[in-house]
A and B are shown apart, each in its own frame.
Chain A
Amino acid sequence: MNFEDHEETHPLDNLILSERMPHIWCPGCGIGIVLNCYLRALIESNIDLNNVVVVSGIGCTGRIANYVALDSFHTTHGRAIPIAMGVKIVKPNLKVVVISGDGDLFAIGGNHFIHAARRNVDLLVICVNNFNYGMTGGQVGPTTPFQSVTTTTPYGNIEHPFNLPYLATAAGAVFVARWTIAQPFALIKTIKKALQKSGFSFIEVIAPCITLYARYNRLGGPSEVLKYLLQNSVIKNGIDPALVDIDKDKKIIVGEFIDRDRPELVKELYRIIKEQSGLELKSIVSGG
Chain B
Amino acid sequence: MQGDEACAEGAIVAGCRVFAGYPITPSTEIAERLAIRLPQVGGVFIQMEDELSSIALIIGASYAGAKAMTATSGPGMSLFMENIGLAFMTETPIVIVNVMRGGPSTGQPTRASQGDVMQAKWGSHGDYEIIALSPFSVQEMFDLTIEAFNLAEKFRTPVVLLADEIVGHMREKVVIKLPEEVEIVNRKKPLSKESFLPFKPDEDLVPPMACFGEGFKIHVTGLTHDFSGFPSSVDPGVHWKLVKRLCDKIRLNSEKIIKIDERFMEDAEIIVVAYGAPARSSLRAVRIAREKGLKVGLCRLITLWPFPQRKFLEYAKHAKAFIVVEMNYGQIVREVERCVQGKPVFFLPKMGGDPHTPNEILNLIYEVNEDEF
A residues near B (Cβ < 8 Å) are 17, 20, 49-51, 53, 55, 65-66, 69-76, 78-79, 81-91, 93-94, 111-112, 115, 269, 272-273, 275-277, 279, 281, 283-288
- Is there contact, CB below 8 Å, between B41 and A74? no
Report how far A88 CA is from B85 CA in the complex, Å: 22
- Is there contact, CB below 8 Å, between A53 and B213? yes
**CB < 8 Å: which of A69, A73, A272 contacts B217?**
A69
B60 at the interface (CB under 8 A from A): yes
B10-24 interface bits toward A, Cβ cutoff 8 Å, 1 = contact, 0 = none: 001111111010000
**CB < 8 Å: which of B12, B44, B218 contacts A71?**
B218
Residues of B contacting A66 in the complex (Cβ-Cβ under 8 angstroms): 219, 221, 230-231
Report how far A87 CA is from B220 CA in the complex, Å: 13
- Looking at the assembled complex, report how far the CB atom of A16 sits from the nearest CB atom of chain B, in whole angstroms: 12
- Is there contact, CB below 8 Å, between B53 and A79? yes
- Looking at the assembled complex, report how far the CB atom of A168 sits from the nearest CB atom of chain B, in whole angstroms: 16
Residues of A contacting B13 in the complex (Cβ-Cβ under 8 angstroms): 287-288
Q: A75-B222, A91-B65, A287-B67 are in contact. List 13 more A-B contacts (CB 8 A).
A: A65-B219, A73-B212, A73-B220, A74-B220, A86-B58, A86-B62, A90-B44, A90-B61, A273-B43, A275-B39, A284-B66, A287-B17, A288-B184
Closest A-B pairs by Cβ, 9 of them: A86-B60, A288-B15, A90-B64, A82-B53, A288-B184, A82-B56, A86-B61, A83-B60, A74-B221
Q: Which of B42, B86, B221 has the most CB of A within 10 A?
A: B42
- Looking at the assembled complex, report how far the CB atom of B338 sits from the nearest CB atom of chain A, in whole angstroms: 32
- Is there contact, CB below 8 Å, between A284 and B222? no
- Looking at the assembled complex, report how far the CB atom of B124 sits from the nearest CB atom of chain A, in whole angstroms: 11
Q: Which residues from 175 to 215 on chain B have a C-beta closer than 8 Å to any C-beta of chain A?
A: 179, 184, 186, 212-213, 215
- Looking at the assembled complex, report how far the CB atom of A256 sits from the nearest CB atom of chain B, in whole angstroms: 28
B48 at the interface (CB under 8 A from A): yes
Report how far A93 CA is from B61 CA in the complex, Å: 14
Q: Which residues from 99 to 126 on chain B have a C-beta closer than 8 Å to any C-beta of chain A?
A: none
- Looking at the assembled complex, report how far the CB atom of B325 sits from the nearest CB atom of chain A, in whole angstroms: 35
- Is there contact, CB below 8 Å, between A83 and B67? no
- Is there contact, CB below 8 Å, between A115 and B56? no
B281 at the interface (CB under 8 A from A): no
- Is there contact, CB below 8 Å, between B213 and A111? no
Report how far A172 CA is from B281 CA in the complex, Å: 53
Report how far A18 CA is from B105 CA in the complex, Å: 49
Residues of B contacting A115 in the complex (Cβ-Cβ under 8 angstroms): 48-49, 53
Residues of B contacting A51 in the complex (Cβ-Cβ under 8 angstroms): 213
**CB < 8 Å: which of A17, A269, A288 contacts B14?**
A288
Report how far A66 CA is from B228 CA in the complex, Å: 11
- Is there contact, CB below 8 Å, between B221 and A287? no
- Is there contact, CB below 8 Å, between B41 and A277? yes
Residues of B contacting A87 in the complex (Cβ-Cβ under 8 angstroms): 60-61, 63-64, 212
Report how far A70 CA is from B213 CA in the complex, Å: 9
Residues of A contacting B40 in the complex (Cβ-Cβ under 8 angstroms): 276-277
Contact status of A93 and B56, CB under 8 A, knowing A111-B50, A284-B43, A288-B15: no
- Is there contact, CB below 8 Å, between A273 and B39? yes
Closest residue on chain A to residue B60 by CB atoms: A86
Residues of A contacting B41 in the complex (Cβ-Cβ under 8 angstroms): 277, 287
Closest residue on chain A to residue B67 by CB atoms: A286
Report how far A248 CA is from B48 CA in the complex, Å: 37
- Is there contact, CB below 8 Å, between B18 and A89? yes
B216 at the interface (CB under 8 A from A): yes
Residues of B contacting A91 in the complex (Cβ-Cβ under 8 angstroms): 64-65, 212-213
Residues of B contacting A283 in the complex (Cβ-Cβ under 8 angstroms): 64-65
Closest residue on chain B to residue A55 by CB atoms: B60
B46 at the interface (CB under 8 A from A): yes
B32 at the interface (CB under 8 A from A): no
Report how far A49 CA is from B212 CA in the complex, Å: 11
18 of the cross-chain contacts (CB-CB < 8 Å) are A50-B217, A72-B218, A72-B219, A74-B222, A75-B222, A76-B86, A79-B53, A81-B53, A82-B53, A83-B57, A87-B63, A90-B61, A91-B64, A93-B213, A281-B42, A284-B44, A286-B66, A288-B186
Residues of B contacting A286 in the complex (Cβ-Cβ under 8 angstroms): 15-17, 65-67, 186
- Is there contact, CB below 8 Å, between A86 and B57? yes
- Is there contact, CB below 8 Å, between B42 and A279? yes
Q: Which residues from 276 to 304 on chain B have a C-beta closer than 8 Å to any C-beta of chain A?
A: none
- Is there contact, CB below 8 Å, between B59 and A86? yes
- Is there contact, CB below 8 Å, between B49 and A112? yes
Q: Which of A51, A83, A273, A283 has the most CB of B within 10 A?
A: A83
